[in-house]
Amino acid sequence: MCGIVGYVGPRQALEVVVDGLRRLEYRGYDSAGIAVVNQGKIESRKKAGKLANLEDELSSEPMSMSSTGIGHTRWATHGAPNDVNAHPHLSEDGSIAVIHNGIIENFATLRDELRSQGVELLSQTDTEIVAHLLSAQMKVSENLPDALRQVAQRLTGAFTLVVVHADSPDLVVAARRNSPLVVGRGDGENFLASDVAAFISFTRNAIELGQDQVVVLTPQDVLVTDFFGNHVDVLEYEVTWDAAAAEKGGFDLFMLKEIAEQPKAVADTLLGRIDDSGTVTLDGLELEPEYLASIDKIVIVACGTAYHSGMIAKYAIEHWTRIACEVELASEFRYRDPILRPSTLVIAISQSGETMDTLMAMRYAREQGAKVLAICNSNGSTIPRESDAVIYTHAGPEIAVASTKAFLTQIVACYLFAMFMAQSRGGVDKAAAREIALELATMAHKIDLVLDTVVGVREIAKELVDANSVLFLGRSVGFPVALEGALKLKELAYMHAEGFAAGELKHGPIALIEDGLPVFVVVPPPTDELHDKIVSNIQEVRARGAKTIVLAEEGDSSIDEFADHIIRLPKCPALLQPLVATVPLQVFSCEMATLKGFDVDQPRNLAKSVTVE
């Protein structure tokens, strides 16, 4: 939610910042803006719409050369996405420029205070007040870092603030609370960004900032303090992927690239975690064996697609470990007074590791005495940093707003955890967990096989492009797959789509079925006890005029006469089927959005990393 970039060093700041914004645009694309420090002045440009609008303006009216700059791509919270509300925001005398990610919750009080002092606010944003507060604070503080520390102490809510001052040509200062910020450490230059993708082509050395910290960047130094000026030691780490991983690599869309990367992402997530005998080992699971043995309830918290992976995990966890498992939308969790004990393990699933709803849910769980295990794709992000243990997925950077490879790897990580628990605790079905672990090890290849079916899926999309609505049905682990298929279609093709548990159909949703309505049905393997029941569900919707698109295992001919289209899935155990069944649904929604002419990688109103509640 909003992308932030800062640079100080010998390169052209403008070029570095624009390059960084291009890589961070997936975080927000309502407007973009830049400020550079040049000869005792701040020069700033900002434009509503995508970064390309700003770039067009910059090429017709270039900005000055500078060694110091900041830039922002916005996902609007306070105020419409127009030129005025775009960041940076400047102090009245134009000497201070501020960019911001997050929400300043006490903004109304501070705005009224500023107005009573005669300050004229130009925008509707919560950000602009920071520029004015800093301007006033500079009259009493020794320097910009000190002024920012003082102002940060007055703010409530979530913020990453990055600031430059006209009189400080080689200085960028930032403050962080509950919103991502990472430093890129270069040789004689330094970078700041919401995400390492912004500076990965310049340096792989990164420093993740903690909560309530201020960082002072000069070309030579990175100095971190708390909001009171006390020095803080930081941990530098090396980013494991390179710039090419965050490029389209010959694909037209990031989403297409990321769909194609799924076999590798799954293989990488499994790498070194299952041995030849099917025994699971988990690096990073630093929970005491006594604690693991004491767990009597698991609660999964997550949002969106990650929530669907949690729903799938519940089936595996309860089946293999016999530990009761609840799955809850993170945004609802802490508001219903959930029962949490030291013997409750909360699993927070998040691709970005920054989703505010999930972060607040896990913080609440820890306050109540529960331990938290993070399943996360972003090394060093806030959710794993604040968790008791972490299982990293190794999907690599996911840039498209629609989550694909992160989803499959989240399922894999959850399954690894369930198997690990089944194998390490007594009294559970260890042999079955071992057998399925060996099956899991073959899934990367099976996902590769499904990718061969995409041509057929695209043809189906062409046929259905004018549909008004699409339904998705599944049972057991096929139900979350159905929900995920519907979510993808909504977010990418802006269509009405719903996922249902197929058994629930007769309790209401079947009334939606009318002539020609496309209904996708995820059929479990013929050996599964639900197979025949869902075949009956297919007949029920078809009898009422639905056009059925059936995802069924290869060789399963029982559905042939009831399917208008069949998408074949490789054979695998029922619990693992989501890993193959989701892929055609991803391709379908991507193709539908493309056919409708929509921006697949950056769908309207959305942002990749949702850092506000």
Instruction: Show which residues are catalytic.
Output: 2, 608
- Interface with ligand M6R: number of residues (CB under 6 A): 15
**Residue 344 CA: distances (Å) to CA of 191, 287, 289, 348, 370:** 40, 13, 15, 13, 5
Q: Which of 85, 125, 351, 611 binds ligand M6R (CB under 6 A)?
A: 351
Gyration radius from the chain CA atoms:
25
Listed ranges 36-44, 91-99, 116-124, 396-404: which one lies at the site for ligand M6R (CB under 6 A): 396-404
Q: How far is the CB of 306 from ligand M6R (least distance, A)?
A: 4
Rule CB under 6 A: say whether 397 interacts with ligand M6R: no
Q: Rounded distance, CA 400 to CA 406, Å?
A: 11
Check: CB of residue 86 under 8 Å from CB of residue 33: yes
Check: CB of residue 193 under 8 Å from CB of residue 5: yes
Check: CB of residue 127 under 8 Å from CB of residue 99: yes
Site for ligand M6R in 270-329 (CB under 6 A): 303-306
Binding map of ligand M6R across residues 4-43, x = CB under 6 A, - = no contact:
----------------------------------------
Q: How far is the CB of 258 from ligand M6R (least distance, A)?
A: 11
Q: Which of 160, 403, 409, 476 binds ligand M6R (CB under 6 A)?
A: 403
The pairing of beta strand 496-501 with beta strand 469-474: parallel
- Burial class of residue 240 (count of CB atoms within 10 Å of its CB; 0-12, 13-18, 19+): exposed
Listed ranges 311-319, 400-408, 510-518, 591-599: which one lies at the site for ligand M6R (CB under 6 A): 400-408
Rule CB under 6 A: say whether 424 interacts with ligand M6R: no
**Shorter beta-carbon distance to ligand M6R: residue 44 or 351:** 351
Q: Which of 352, 387, 577, 582 binds ligand M6R (CB under 6 A)?
A: 352
Listed ranges 122-130, 397-405, 424-432, 455-463: which one lies at the site for ligand M6R (CB under 6 A): 397-405
The pairing of beta strand 213-217 with beta strand 172-177: antiparallel
- Burial class of residue 492 (count of CB atoms within 10 Å of its CB; 0-12, 13-18, 19+): buried
**Shorter beta-carbon distance to ligand M6R: residue 21 or 359:** 359
Rule CB under 6 A: say whether 414 interacts with ligand M6R: no
Task: Please give the order of strands across the beta sheet that includes 172-177.
Answer: 89-90, 96-104, 157-165, 172-177, 213-217, 222-226
Q: How far is the CB of 609 from ligand M6R (least distance, A)?
A: 6
Q: Which of 125, 262, 358, 409 binds ligand M6R (CB under 6 A)?
A: 358
Rule CB under 6 A: say whether 610 interacts with ligand M6R: yes
Rule CB under 6 A: say whether 393 interacts with ligand M6R: no
* C-alpha count within 13 angstroms, C-beta hemisphere, residue 439: 17
**Shorter beta-carbon distance to ligand M6R: residue 26 or 107:** 26
Listed ranges 290-298, 320-328, 399-407, 439-447: which one lies at the site for ligand M6R (CB under 6 A): 399-407
Contacts of 297 (CB under 8 A, 6+ apart): 323, 324, 325, 326, 341, 343, 344, 345
Rule CB under 6 A: say whether 401 interacts with ligand M6R: yes
Residue 349, beta-bridge partner list? 375
Q: Report the residue number whose CB is nearest to ligand M6R.
A: 304
Q: Rounded distance, CA 383 to CA 352, Å?
A: 9
**Shorter beta-carbon distance to ligand M6R: residue 278 or 384:** 384
Per the document, the length of the chain is 613
Helix (H) or strand (E) holding 60: helix 51-60
Rule CB under 6 A: say whether 101 interacts with ligand M6R: no
Contacts of 528 (CB under 8 A, 6+ apart): 476, 574
Q: Rounded distance, CA 351 to CA 357, Å?
A: 13
Helix (H) or strand (E) holding 420: helix 405-424
Structure tokens, 455: 């041509």
Q: Which of 66, 125, 205, 350 binds ligand M6R (CB under 6 A)?
A: 350
Q: How far is the CB of 305 from ligand M6R (least distance, A)?
A: 3
User: Under the rule (CB under 6 A), what is the footprint of ligand M6R?
Assistant: 303-306, 350-352, 355, 358, 401-403, 491, 609-610
